[in-house]
Structure 1
Amino acid sequence: MASLLLAVIYLIFVSLGLPDSLLGAGWPTMHKAFGVPSSYAGYVSMTIAFMTIISALLSPKLIQKVHTKWIVAVSISLTVLGLLGFSFSSAYFMLFLFAVPYGFGAGAIDAAVNHYVASNYSGSVMNFLHCFYGVGAVISPNIMAAALKHAQWNEGYRWTSYMQALILLVVIVSFSLWSKNEKSQKEDDSGSKGIRQTLKAPGVLSTLISFFGYCAGEATCFLWTSSYFAGTKEGLSKEIVASFASLIFGGLMLGRIVSGLVSNKLGDKKLIRFGILVEFVGILLVLASPDNYVLAAVGFVTIGCGMGPVYPGIQHMAPAKFGKKYSASAIGLQMASAYVGTTFMPMVFGQLQQIVGIWIMPWYILFFMLINFGFLELSHKQCQKRPAGV
């Protein structure tokens, strides 16, 4: 039963990844169809992420009062609605209407499932699960590429919504598997601290800034990688440009597979440090390839590999780093902080690249990599001062 539930959770992580890379993959074609500038992708992405922030901030109370299985089922249903809405959008403003369920469905499920896994499974399991997020995020740009080749961009969203609906059906069928685990989880969460108390705990605020930095760089890659190749490399077809959105996700998936194999031996701290070093190497490769799209593609895959262990590592550390009483709120705050980075920084980059040029993208990623590393190291030092047993 436990292994079956874990298999369902793996599938849930696939569903988390499916919607995230579609906008970046389809936007080089979509913005022309809507007759809007390339930078307008940032406004849609910001709306999706803003709704996710609200959902993530509500998650600590939801986790205490609502079964995780219901949070998952309702959240996936909302993303199905959002994806279908995008597929039927015939004007730019319609994207904002459907960005509301699209984004709201992501925050609570992400926080709830990450808290559940961090509290009940090893770091190895957490990395493998986030690898499956990468599976979903790699699949959808290729769905979009196939849609652009054989139909139009709308079908990319529609076909992805059908996959989400199938995963939702599996989750509903698996409801009985959650019951026993949910009971023990509710007992563990019964004395959880609120958001205000958690913000005062040592190391929490600096971790939130670090997570903001990580997700700002990650989300910029998600949204703008295809546009980077379209704007800096000549002679590439629109199908190839769309498929390049999967480079960063393929790297994330590979990085998390490797991390899952070694995380129990190295531990979260060492693994994250090594990952950030690999990310830095990837940024250097992109900077070294102004005209060579193959080397740039290798660079983005390497950036993704380096990013791979950072997100799951920070999430998995929460119960041990802050204490179990703070972990649910800490993870909810981490999700909200992450989506603040996701909301605003791709939009800021959209404006910046329109003024300076999209060639600046690797420098932008480097800036947020340094924020991620610096504040995470600061949080480790602050948490060493936490009284034992808190």
Structure 2
Amino acid sequence: MQSVGRKNGWVPITIAALAFASLGLPDGALGVAWPSIRRELGLPLGELGSLLVVMTVGHLLSSFGSGPAAARLGAGRLLLWSNLAFAASALGFALAPGGWALLLASLVWGTAAGMIDAGLNAYAAARFSPRVITWLHACFGGGAMLGPVVQAGGSWRGGYAVVAGALGAMTVGLALTRGQLDEAADAAAVAALLPPPPRLAETLRRRVAWTGAALFCLYTGLEATPGRWAYSLLTEARGMAPDRAAYAVAAYWASFSLGRVLSGFAAHRVAPRVLLRAALAGAPAGAILVWTGSGGPGSVVGLMILGLCFAPVFPLLIALTPDRVGPGHASHAIGLQVSAAALGAGALPGAIGLVARRAGLEVVGPFLFGTAVAVLLLYGAVESRARITPPPSA
């Protein structure tokens, strides 16, 4: 594994960075496009929740099968076909005549995203150093930052056509370079990342694995919420101009990306647990600003604080998993956590849509604050239990 990790070539790193960015691009576009989509197609506010649930189902189903698919197809071919499906889903959004077409495109979107997400992370874990992996995750935020910019000031259909074109160009790039990815991804290293089936039941019997999964579910729902609902909150509930609101959401993703880049530098100077506690402790402050900021700059500053605080959380929680559950159970626990993360990223923003349909969009602020506090408390409980019950080595 170490020898594989040292063979960092610029071509594979560049391809992986662009792939992570392409994964974030449509993610950032949806929240900004949604008000225009629902007005044109006559859909209720909470219908976004249905789309997110369908995406989550597709993501979960495909991520479970990504390991065997990567071993059978190779990293290059897996990313090529998944990215092609991803581009098709964006085109489906651009051409959708009604809500049923959006649901179908959402299923393809979630399925393709799950395969790309799991495949990229498996490839990166076998190939790159932790610092490179952190910076690759920053590229996701960069793509998500561009999503609102693409949708700002124009037709939502045109915005999704641009997204489809960008993903199509990425697909062409993968077709031209997939041989280099397949050569770089050592089959034995990828196979070593797949958890041995006999140990799964034992891992699932450990409470710390489930509390960790609950933490991931709650946290990723929190992280996804500003990207999904901040634009609707600022424009429909607080009267902010659409262009300004789009750039406010872009600012959230920009600070998120910047935070991940900075955390890559800080990783060798600050203990991961210290950095993680500081990030989680700062998030409620940003949430309060979003909650109380009305339509002024306070909301934008709050979003940027949230992005900066959220930036290191997911990579550090992944990195600390072996310490919590033991190296022998880490692969299974991480698989459980990533699945829970996909569930939270779809279910929690979806639930906000259902509540907002009755109570209004101002529920977003209290949700952000309450969930940020809950994540901080749950993380403290998870770490306390890990200290009380030392993890087994296998």
With structure 2 as the length reference, what TM-score do the two structures score? 0.89
User: Which piece of structure 1 moves more, 268-277 or 294-303?
Assistant: 268-277
Q: 2:308 corresponds to which residue? A: 305
CA distance in 2, matches of 1:47, 1:119: 30
Instruction: Give CA deviations for 1:355-389 in whole Å, capped at 9, x if unaligned.
Output: 22222212101222233233333333444545553
How far is the alpha carbon of 1:154 from its aligned partner?
A: 0.6
How far is the alpha carbon of 1:271 from its aligned partner?
A: 2.0
Instruction: Give CA deviations for 1:139-193 in whole Å, capped at 9, x if unaligned.
Output: 11111114x1xxx211111111111111222223222333243234135336634
Q: 1:233 corresponds to which residue? A: 238
Matched, 1:330 2:337: no
CA distance in 1, matches of 2:18, 2:173: 9
Q: 2:221 corresponds to which residue? A: 216
The residue identity in structure 2 corresponding to 1:74 is W
User: Which piece of structure 1 moves more, 98-107 or 202-211?
Assistant: 202-211
Q: 2:269 corresponds to which residue? A: 265
User: Which piece of structure 1 moves more, 134-143 or 215-224?
Assistant: 215-224
User: Which piece of structure 1 moves more, 19-28 or 117-126?
Assistant: 117-126
- Alignment check: 8 A CA contact 2:17 2:139 kept: yes
User: Which piece of structure 1 moves more, 355-364 or 219-228?
Assistant: 355-364
Name structure 2 gaps, 5 residues minimum.
Answer: 1-7
CA distance in 1, matches of 2:288, 2:34: 26
- Alignment check: 8 A CA contact 1:84 1:158 kept: yes
Matched, 1:206 2:211: yes
Q: 1:182 corresponds to which residue? A: 186
CA distance in 1, matches of 2:66, 2:326: 18
Q: 1:255 corresponds to which residue? A: 259
- Alignment check: 8 A CA contact 1:47 1:96 kept: yes
CA distance in 2, matches of 1:386, 1:122: 27
User: Which piece of structure 1 moves more, 317-326 or 267-276?
Assistant: 317-326
How far is the alpha carbon of 1:343 from its aligned partner?
A: 2.1
The residue identity in structure 2 corresponding to 1:313 is L
Q: What is the total number of aligned residue pairs between the two structures?
A: 384
Instruction: Give CA deviations for 1:173-224 in whole Å, capped at 9, x if unaligned.
Output: 2223332432341353366346444323462211110010111112221210
Instruction: Give CA deviations for 1:68-120 in whole Å, capped at 9, x if unaligned.
Output: 33332222111111001111102122101111111101112212322343455
User: Which piece of structure 1 moves more, 2-11 or 112-121?
Assistant: 112-121
- Alignment check: 8 A CA contact 1:52 1:339 kept: yes
Matched, 1:246 2:253: no
The residue identity in structure 2 corresponding to 1:377 is G
Q: Which of 267, 283, 287 in structure 2 is aligned with 1:283? A: 287
With structure 1 as the length reference, what TM-score do the two structures score? 0.90
Q: 1:360 corresponds to which residue? A: 363
Matched, 1:112 2:119: yes
Q: 1:11 corresponds to which residue? A: 18
For residues 190 and 20 of structure 1, do their structure 2 counterparts lie closer, same or farther at Cα, with a shift above 3 Å needed?
A: closer
User: Which piece of structure 1 moves more, 42-51 or 242-251?
Assistant: 242-251
Q: 2:31 corresponds to which residue? A: 24
- Alignment check: 8 A CA contact 2:135 2:260 kept: yes
CA distance in 2, matches of 1:329, 1:69: 25
Matched, 1:389 2:393: yes
Q: Percent identity over the alignment?
A: 22
Q: 2:383 corresponds to which residue? A: 380
Matched, 1:339 2:346: no
For residues 264 and 171 of structure 1, do their structure 2 counterparts lie closer, same or farther at Cα, with a shift above 3 Å needed?
A: farther
Residues 126-137 of structure 1 aligned to structure 2 (within 5 Å): 126-137=133-144
CA distance in 1, matches of 2:126, 2:385: 22
